[in-house]
């Protein structure tokens, strides 16, 4: 029986990894983790992905969304799998990946919420202000509670005796970013190292050093040889495959080329729209272009 390696998209916005669901080789012991699920928020909620890695009875969730409504849908997804949510891993300190965690933690109080120590320290320092700013902008759509994110003692998370590896921290769309590598499924939960079909958050990647750092991170992640790659942000037309690296690299190259010739922020926006087509999260482009160049 041949099985497509492309992820399939259900009508509910939940992406089910077809290759991962069939990743158990007949005759072998069924080791955890066994499969994965992805929830993608709508474009109005940042197109953020949360990825659930499933063992036989337990699960690990990666990233917790921005809005409470999306976090509640992620919690519903966890509940529907029938697994016990043991660990929630946060890839980096941007608010769209952790301000929804209060909702998830309330549904699954026994789950431990963790990050690499450098990420946990940033969340600890930044979260109160992020929450205040986001609630000014979006009101009660943002939870009014914060969850403490505990620093991991080791660069790994265990799921039913199997090791999932924390990669990083290193430069992504922010300087301190991590990904989760699930070797048993050849699954990379890439966080914001990889985007698919949306604008990238370039506001913190304005220097040539940062841009090259992001490319080097992609080199390292690709060398792992993942067969399934879950990006941090996506439009639903993209599957969970290494093609998301190509999209991210094309965007970085286009950004660098446009920055080399644009004279104003307006030029920059125009050139990027020409190079990449109209993409969701155009506000990301406006922020970054305005920071990189004078307006006009």
Contact range with Zn ion by CB under 5 A, out of 21-29, 77-85, 227-235, 247-255: 227-235
**Cβ closest to Zn ion, residue 33 vs residue 232:** 232
Contact range with Zn ion by CB under 5 A, out of 86-94, 146-154, 162-170, 210-218: 86-94
Q: How far is the CB of 195 from Zn ion (least distance, A)?
A: 8
**Cβ closest to Zn ion, residue 86 vs residue 96:** 96
- Selected from 77, 192, 218, 231, the binder of Zn ion by CB under 5 A is 192
**Cβ closest to Zn ion, residue 94 vs residue 116:** 94
For residue 58, how many C-alpha atoms fall within 13 Å in the half-sphere facing its CB? 15
Q: How far is the CB of 232 from Zn ion (least distance, A)?
A: 5
Q: Does 241 bind Zn ion (CB under 5 A)?
A: no
Q: How far is the CB of 48 from Zn ion (least distance, A)?
A: 6
**Cβ closest to Zn ion, residue 18 vs residue 51:** 51
Sheet of strand 228-234: strand arrangement: 156-159, 162-170, 177-182, 187-196, 228-234
Q: How far is the CB of 73 from Zn ion (least distance, A)?
A: 17
Q: How far is the CB of 233 from Zn ion (least distance, A)?
A: 6
Backbone angles phi, psi at 181, to 5 degrees: -105, 125
**Cβ closest to Zn ion, residue 28 vs residue 44:** 44
Q: How far is the CB of 183 from Zn ion (least distance, A)?
A: 24
Angstrom CA distances, 114 to 86, 219, 258, 281, stand at 11, 26, 38, 28
Write the CB contacts of 241 (distance below 8 Å, at least 6 apart in sequence). 5, 6, 7, 227, 228, 229
**Cβ closest to Zn ion, residue 143 vs residue 194:** 194
- Selected from 40, 96, 174, 244, the binder of Zn ion by CB under 5 A is 96
Binding site for Zn ion (CB under 5 A): 94, 96, 192, 232
């Amino acid at each position: 029986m041949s099985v497509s390696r492309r992820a399939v998209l259900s009508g509910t916005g939940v992406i089910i990894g077809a290759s991962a669901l069939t990743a158990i080789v007949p005759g072998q012991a069924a080791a955890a983790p066994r499969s994965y699920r992805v929830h993608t928020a709508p474009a109005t909620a940042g197109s953020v992905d949360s990825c659930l890695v499933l063992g036989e009875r337990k699960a690990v969730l990666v990233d917790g969304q921005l809005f409470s409504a999306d976090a509640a849908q992620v919690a519903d997804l966890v509940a529907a799998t029938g697994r016990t949510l043991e660990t929630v891993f946060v890839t980096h300190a941007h608010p769209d990946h952790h301000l929804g965690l209060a909702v998830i933690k309330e549904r699954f109080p026994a789950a431990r919420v963790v990050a690499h120590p450098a990420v946990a320290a940033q969340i600890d320092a930044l979260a109160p202000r992020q929450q205040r700013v986001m609630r000014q902008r979006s009101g009660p759509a943002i939870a009014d509670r914060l969850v403490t994110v505990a620093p991991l003692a080791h660069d790994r998370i265990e799921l039913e005796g199997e090791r999932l590896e924390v990669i990083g921290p290193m430069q992504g769309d922010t300087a301190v970013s991590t990904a989760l590598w699930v070797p048993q499924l050849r699954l990379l939960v890439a966080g914001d190292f990889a985007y698919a079909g949306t604008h990238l958050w370039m506001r913190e990647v304005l220097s040539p050093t940062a841009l090259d750092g992001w490319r080097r991170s992609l080199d390292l992640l690709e060398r792992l040889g993942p067969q399934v790659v879950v990006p941090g942000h996506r439009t639903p037309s993209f599957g969970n495959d290494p093609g998301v690296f190509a999209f991210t690299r094309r965007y970085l190259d286009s950004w660098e080329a446009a920055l080399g010739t644009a004279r104003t922020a307006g030029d920059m926006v125009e050139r990027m729209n020409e190079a990449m087509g109209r993409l969701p999260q155009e506000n990301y482009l406006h922020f970054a272009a305005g920071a990189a160049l004078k307006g006009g």
